[in-house]
Amino acid sequence: MAGGTRLLQFRVTAENFGNLEGAHLLEFFDSVEFISNYQPGSKNTPTSIIAKLKHQHPLHEYEEIDALRIITILTEGENESIAIVTLGGPFTRKVASLDGLWFTHPTIATPDFLKVTISGIPSSIKEMMRMAQALPERMSYSLLESEDSKITPINMSDMPPKRQKILLKAIELGYYRYPRGCTQRDIAEAVGLKQATVSEHLQKGESTVLNSWSKNHN
């Protein structure tokens, strides 16, 4: 599998957080967890992801820093929200600067540890390891061959615009909460489409984003 996809996982414990951008987020958030890629970054554009944010205070009180800027709040609860955010800290900019790299599961920042998992082609993974070793913070890392050499990043922005619109509206209206916050008919009325169309796009969207998250989130 020399030409296959590899997984690189970094883990930093609290005593070694140093100036890592993920640690600064914990001044406001209880945790920040990756759900799905939304828009890949580049040398000049920050990476966008869908994230689950746990917090004690309303999101409007969050004083944004480059490490995480909230673009769109999909659903906001008293202590847990889902939002589209950009990641602009030094570490994530390094990831965005290399072709063939993307964030995957599990990637999470908590008060006890930071864990970042990156998938990508071997040459870019090797360069990312070299960059990470130059950071002053002490971190452990592991390198694994992907079980599936054909693995590709899940970017919601790669979906057809109609499917993306339906899935985001479903999240916003609470379709994936328990109990459900809306019905497929509610979503159809909100986006101005037939219920059958909404049902079809939800099934396809779930298979590429939400189901993938639940299967890989261990």
Which pTM was predicted? 0.66
Q: Which pLDDT tens digit goes with each residue over 128-166?
A: 877 776 776 666 666 665 544 333 444 555 678 888 788
pLDDT of residue 212 exceeding 60: no
Local confidence band at 18 (pLDDT 50, 70, 90 cut-offs): confident
Rounded to an integer, the average pLDDT of 176-190 is: 82
What is the per-residue pLDDT for 176?
Answer: 66
Q: What is the CA angle 115-118-124, rounded to 5? A: 140
Q: What is the CA angle 126-131-134, rounded to 5? A: 130
Residue with tokens 């497929």: 184
Task: Name the DSSP class of 154.
Answer: -
Which are the contacts of 109, defined by CB distance < 8 A and separation ≥ 6? 22, 23, 25, 26, 29, 31, 32, 33
What is the per-residue pLDDT for 21?
Answer: 74
Residue 153, helix vs strand vs coil? coil
pLDDT of residue 207 exceeding 50: yes
Rounded to an integer, the average pLDDT of 60-75 is: 91
10 Å CB burial of residue 92 (0-12, 13-18, 19+) is buried
pLDDT of residue 12 exceeding 60: yes
pLDDT of residue 41 exceeding 70: no
Residue 22 and residue 31: Cα distance in Å, rounded?
10
- Give the start-to-end residue ranges of the domains of the chain: 6-145, 159-216
Residue 39's alpha-carbon distances to 45, 84, 105, 116, 190, in angstroms, are 10, 10, 16, 18, 24
Local confidence band at 92 (pLDDT 50, 70, 90 cut-offs): confident
What CATH fold (topology level) applies to the domain 159-216? Arc Repressor Mutant, subunit A (1.10.10)
Closest CA to 217 of 140, 125, 105, 58: 105
What is the per-residue pLDDT for 40?
Answer: 73
Lowest mean pLDDT among 83-97, 120-134, 148-162: 148-162
